[in-house]
Amino acid sequence: MTRLFYLPLCGLLLLQGCTTQPAAPESATPAPVQTEAAEAPPPAYDSNTLADLLVAEVAAQRQAYGVTLGYYTEAAKTTGDTRVLSQASQLAHYLEDHHQALLLSQQWLEQDSENEEALQLAILSEIRLGNTEAATRYLDTLLGAHGEQALGRLVAQARGLDAEGNLQLVQALAQLTDQYPEQAPLWYARALWQEREGNLQAALEADEQALKRMPRHEDALLLKAQLLFKLGEHKQALRHLKKLVRKYPDSRRARITYVRMLLASGEVKQAEKQLRIMAERNPDDLDLKFSLALLALEAGATNTAREQLQELLSLNYRPDDVHLYLAQGEEQQNQLEAAIDHYLKVRGPQAIRARVQAARLMVRQGQSEQAHALLSGLRQQHPEMATSLTLSEAEMYHSNGDSEAALTLLNEALESSPDNTELRYSRAMMAEKNGDLAQLEADLKHILSINPDDASALNALGYTLANRTPRLDEAHDYVSRALALSPDDPAILDSMGWVLYRQGKLKEARNYLRRAYEKFPDPEVAAHYGEVLWVLGAQNQAREIWRDTLNSNPDAPHVRETMERLGARL
């Protein structure tokens, strides 16, 4: 989508003089001689047009852009003013009203036949309307009036390849290389399109054609490296980028692309060297230094990241963000005490998140009392977050193997808030893991006494009864109620499939489990679906389901336990 320089038009024109001003009284002294070209006189609109423009502006302020476009279009037709035509045609393009955008840009070109933006809009509109041949006529005018650079600016709008319009633009421009074989931007567009279609070798060949005609085309130079890398020519891609950064040492995009590719290739030391060079060449650009530090941190170049972040901290640059990322870097290096120290120094909006993470690391360090004191303080300071903080703390203890501490915390919290359904549900799930089905059932039934339509509680109770007890009719009733409330929830579909399987209704079970797997192919659903298929005799299909799951989740305990129990082998 073309850029939209959208401003409330009438407000802009009012500043310039939206109506004809009364003549100033004649002066006895002559006016000074104008040494520069005088500005164009402000437009003079009749009262109807002025009213339309005022309505358009009010509609725009309320984001009723369709109304704005209607009034702009009418004003454009009656005045022929290029400023109104510019706003109206850009807005039509923004709203993807391509027919109207074309009509307006054509009217604009009648007033200013070589206006670059009007030509761009006409080209884009014709392409979106499927009129590639008509677009070439405007393309000829664009090239004749503004040269190859203008075409390059048009192609540059196709970088956002997720947008349908930009894909259409790339495709249409890619098809024009036969008509305009000497235009490098069109070869570049062809390379982008071939890449999008997955034809990497053809994309590289088109990109080489662009570079043959415009050797310093930065986008094409960077695309060449990316294509080489995707084709598996990693060394060649890196050599190409190395030459680029030597030839154009001030090109940030080239060096950042080089750094990313070095990191992707595991050449961390070389990437760190390039990061230092970039920082040294831009010593006063603290935003760049921060971005480079985060790039290094993300790629595991922790020492370089730490060095640059410490330097930023010494300059008091975004101290809260820097402490947060320094903490993450220290955590990556398993320097937990240093990480905790940085997390505790974070202030501002991220302070709570940082302190929760500090508490998590304290629990890992065996400092549960300190963690509890820290989180208790947070609960007092932020009572609205007390429940979520309690749940986080319980999860920390449970993950660290201290289920007793987790249950104690939840029990204490429920003494003061017995009807807190989030705390009840968390304790129920913990009880299930500990095999305490009586506690699970009591907590889930308490939740249902408060809210009989709690689908999560109904599902959890039904599934557990089906999985752990012979109470299959009760289980079916609970899961049926949950399914009626959330008919497309894959977890509930999985539960229903499992209840039916336990009841011996294999074909019905298969249907529910297939739907659950298609919506959410997690290991537990895959284990259930595969088991039903295996029992039904579709053992090759079951193996395929399990194989796919283990390829993406090699541990997948649910799948491995199921296969072992059934004596299945891949």
Q: Rounded CA gap, 293 and 559, in Å?
A: 41
| DSSP state for residue 344 in the 8-state scheme | H
Q: Which two tokens stand for residue 36?
A: 């520069």
The answer, yes or no, to whether residue 181 has pLDDT greater than 80, is yes
What CA dihedral angle connects 484, 486, 488 and 494, to 10 degrees?
-80
**Weakest-pLDDT range from 64-73, 222-231, 322-331:** 64-73
Single-letter code of the amino acid located at 523: P
CA angle 404, 405, 410 (to 5 degrees): 100
Average pLDDT over residues 200-228: 93
115 CB-contact burial (10 Å; exposed 0-12 / middle 13-18 / buried 19+)? buried
| DSSP state for residue 265 in the 8-state scheme | T
Instruction: Kindly report the number of other CB atoms within 10 A of residue 338's CB atom.
Output: 16
Q: Rounded CA gap, 321 and 341, in Å?
A: 14
Q: Which two tokens stand for residue 508?
A: 């019905």
Instruction: Kindly report the number of other CB atoms within 10 A of residue 156's CB atom.
Output: 12
Do 122 and 106 contact (CB within 8 A), yes or no? yes
Closest CA to 145 of 186, 192, 112, 182: 112
Query: Bigger pLDDT: 153 or 502?
Result: 502
**Which pLDDT tens digit goes with each residue over 508-544?**
999 999 999 999 999 999 999 999 999 999 999 999 9
In this prediction, residue 415 carries a pLDDT of: 96
Average pLDDT over residues 179-189: 85
Q: Which two tokens stand for residue 168?
A: 């259409």
CA atoms within 13 Å, Cβ hemisphere of 123: 29
DSSP string, 115-142: -HHHHHHHHHHHHHTT-HHHHHHHHHHH
Domains and CATH numbers, the chain: 47-176 (1.25.40.10)
In this prediction, residue 443 carries a pLDDT of: 97
**Weakest-pLDDT range from 34-38, 173-177, 427-431, 511-515:** 34-38
Single-letter code of the amino acid located at 299: A
Query: Bigger pLDDT: 28 or 212?
Result: 212
CA atoms within 13 Å, Cβ hemisphere of 289: 21
Average pLDDT over residues 4-16: 41
Query: Bigger pLDDT: 184 or 473?
Result: 473
Q: Which two tokens stand for residue 264?
A: 């992707």
Dihedral angle sign, alpha carbons of residues 425, 431, 435, 438: negative
Q: Rounded CA gap, 306 and 301, in Å?
A: 9
Do 221 and 198 contact (CB within 8 A), yes or no? no
| DSSP state for residue 19 in the 8-state scheme | S
Unique residue bearing structure tokens 């109807």: 48
Do 138 and 114 contact (CB within 8 A), yes or no? no
Closest CA to 512 of 492, 531, 538: 492
The answer, yes or no, to whether residue 66 has pLDDT greater than 60, is yes
In this prediction, residue 33 carries a pLDDT of: 32
Instruction: Kindly report the number of other CB atoms within 10 A of residue 458's CB atom.
Output: 27
In this prediction, residue 45 carries a pLDDT of: 66
Single-letter code of the amino acid located at 473: D
The mean of the pLDDT values for the chain is 85
Name the pLDDT band for 22 (thresholds 50, 70, 90): very low
In this prediction, residue 88 carries a pLDDT of: 85
The answer, yes or no, to whether residue 13 has pLDDT greater than 60, is no
Query: Bigger pLDDT: 100 or 296?
Result: 100
In this prediction, residue 485 carries a pLDDT of: 97
Q: Which two tokens stand for residue 558?
A: 């649910």
Query: Bigger pLDDT: 84 or 389?
Result: 389
**Which pLDDT tens digit goes with each residue over 323-367?**
999 999 899 889 999 999 999 999 999 999 999 999 999 999 999
Query: Bigger pLDDT: 501 or 75?
Result: 501
Q: Rounded CA gap, 280 and 414, in Å?
A: 57
In this prediction, residue 43 carries a pLDDT of: 57
Q: Residue 523: CB partners within 8 Å, gap ≥ 6?
A: 549, 553, 556, 557, 558, 559
The answer, yes or no, to whether residue 17 has pLDDT greater than 50, is no
Q: Residue 511: CB partners within 8 Å, gap ≥ 6?
A: 497
Average pLDDT over residues 120-125: 85
Rounded percentage of the chain residues whose pLDDT exceeds 90 = 52
Q: Rounded CA gap, 309 and 321, in Å?
A: 10
| DSSP state for residue 536 in the 8-state scheme | T
Name the pLDDT band for 24 (thresholds 50, 70, 90): very low
The answer, yes or no, to whether residue 31 has pLDDT greater than 50, is no
In this prediction, residue 166 carries a pLDDT of: 62
Closest CA to 495 of 445, 457, 438, 441: 457
**Weakest-pLDDT range from 73-87, 218-232, 333-347, 417-431:** 73-87
417 CB-contact burial (10 Å; exposed 0-12 / middle 13-18 / buried 19+)? middle
The answer, yes or no, to whether residue 440 has pLDDT greater than 70, is yes
Unique residue bearing structure tokens 């009586």: 438
